[in-house]
Each structure stands twice: as C-alpha cells, then as structure tokens.
Structure 1
Amino acid sequence: MKINLCIDIDGTVTEPYYWLERANSHFGCDIKPCDVTSYEIHKVIGVSDKEYVEFYNQCCHELHMESEIREHSKDIISRLSSFCSVNYVTARQKSLELTTENWLKKHDIMLGSLHLLGSHYKVEKARELDCDIFIEDRYENAVEISNAGFDVLLINCEYNKGPLPENAKRVYDWHQIEIEINRYAQKIKSKKQEIA
C-alpha cells in the first residue's frame, strides 16, 4: 500500500522567498528573508493587497518560472515516490497549470497528480486524495488541515511561527521530511505485521 502524500509547491518545493527580488525591484524596497514574518506579502512590503495583486498578475508566470527549487526537494521527492503517491496541491490559480507543469519539468521534479485550487482551503482535496501526510509551508493551512485529522509536516519559514496541533510537526528541511515519512511508513508496516 502506497502512502498518499499531498505536497504544497510555493515555499515547500520552491525556495520560500523567490518572489523577493522582483518585489523589491518593483516596489523600491530592500526586504530580506528575515523580514518576511507574515504570509501576507503585501503587509511585509507595506502596500495594499490590491497593489500587490496587480504586481503579481503582471508577472506571475515569469515569477513562478524563475523560482528556485528548495534544496534537496527534487531528490527526496524522487526517492519517496518509490513508496508514496505524490500529489501536488497548491493554492495557485488554474491559469498557472501549464506554467507549474513546465517548472516541474524544467527542474526534473517527479511529476505526480497536480491540483491547482485557486484557494488556500485544501482540506476537501486532502480528503478526496485520501491524504496520509500533507507537506505545507503556510501556518494557517497546516493548522486547518491538521484539525481536519490529517498528519502535517510544516516546513519552517520566517512567516509560519506558532504552536501546532498534535498531529502537525515542524520540520526544517527536506532531509527531515524524508526521515518523518520513512518513520511513518515503518509504523504502518509494523501495524500490518502485527495484524498478520
């Protein structure tokens, strides 16, 4: 039996601060990763939500195509795919589907199923995919998904501090994600052996 992974993309498979250079240039600011203490980017920059959305809509395809890959994510996702079903679940708009597929191909990242929800609400998709573990970077998502009964690995970023529910765990890199998923797989295997 395969483990069903749901993996967010932005800030999880990509570097979390990939948008900074373009945003700094556009808005004439000098924000560093350590300054990004909120997921609400417009608040970090000090502009209205409307202004940020206008900027994002102008360059979203380029922004996502030039984003860097998070260290070790490619190799570890590839290894995990030998015993896990990989499902990418992102809040990106459906109009970014081709851009997202092209980015995954460009970085030679294992393609799994791809779900662009156009919303941060991911609980229903997690249920639909019979998710075992959800890998996420947005704090509010991690809490919501965890409170719905799913195991969550929250990859640490400056903007996602806060206490986590019991079935959510903060991880610091993809090596730790791999360790946690292998531990989960071992637990399932042990339970099956006990039943047999």
Structure 2
Amino acid sequence: MFYRPEEGHGLPHNPFNAIVTPRPIGWISTRGPEGDNLAPYSFFNAVAYVPPQVMFASTGAKDSLAALQASGVFCVNIVEAAAVDAMNATSAALPRGTDEFLHAGIAKADCATIDCPRVEGAPAALECRVTEVIALKGRDNFLIVGEVTGVHLRDDCLVDGRFEVTRFSPLSRLGYRDYAVVRETFELTRPGEK
C-alpha cells in the first residue's frame, strides 16, 4: 500500500500514529494565570544531550500551551505503568482552569529550579525553561522546545548508578487507543565499541 497524506489513506482509521511507535509520553505540568495544569502528550522526546533539551507538540489552544507561554517554564513527568489510570484521567477535556492534579487525585510537589508543580513520586521529572515555541503547518499545531534546568529521579529507580527503566515500566503510546509498557530490555554494543 502507498498513499499521499493529502489524498487520504482509504483505511477506516488513520495509520500515521501507529507507524511512529512506540512514543514516550510526556506528562506536562504547568502553572499559569488560571492555575496548575497537567496533561499527557505522546508527541514528546529528548532532542539534545548538552545542554539537555526536550520537545513536545501540542494541537489546539490547550491550557498547557497558554500557561507555558505566560510563565516560560514547564515540567515533563515520566509516566509509569502504575499511573496509567491517573494519566488517562488528565487527558479528559475539562473546563479551562480545572486543576488536573486535583481532578485525578495526583499529589503535587514543587520544582526546584522553576515555579511549576510536578507529579510527586513520578519515576523522573525534568524541569524545563521554554527556549522556543514554533508554529507548525496546519491549524493550531505547535512545537515546544525546552532546556532542562533540573532533574528529579526516584531513588528506587537507580540501580548501580544507572536509571533502570524496568524498575518502573514506562508507558508509551502506540496508534489508535493502544499503549505499551516496557518490562524487558536488552543491551546492544555498536560495531567497534568496547
């Protein structure tokens, strides 16, 4: 099968989100003029090591985008399998200004380098300063880039000096309504690497 996106795919469901998988979920917390906000984004990833930078994409005029444009900061909370129901609750279309932390019964903690809440007990949280908000093609598509200014790691996820993902089983987004959990890893050495 081949198709051009502008001509349509002819399938009952758009396959695009199922092609680029698995995608990590950035559970983005913000604090803005209307209060605290928490929402999951599956168009999220790390994009640079030095300085550490992350990005996520937002569609539509969401509370997270408005808050981070006002404050210049956001926090990426990493979602573990045990938090799937809470994460899903924060994806609901709620009235503007609703605190998703309260709505989903999620405990908040303060960030150390920015004025923003984070998910207390998340396996990891990345405190970020916004470096760019880029308007993408299409209606209300935005790419947000942030520089990481602080990193929280849950102690039980550290094993022999490494952040061990099998300790918390990260949740990732597939296509359609499908998700995956990382429970097994393997190591692979590049050719010529010692």
Q: Where on the TM-score scale, by shorter chain, does this alignment land: which range? A: under 0.3
TM-score (norm 1): 0.25
More helix by share: 1
More strand by share: 2
TM-score (norm 2): 0.25
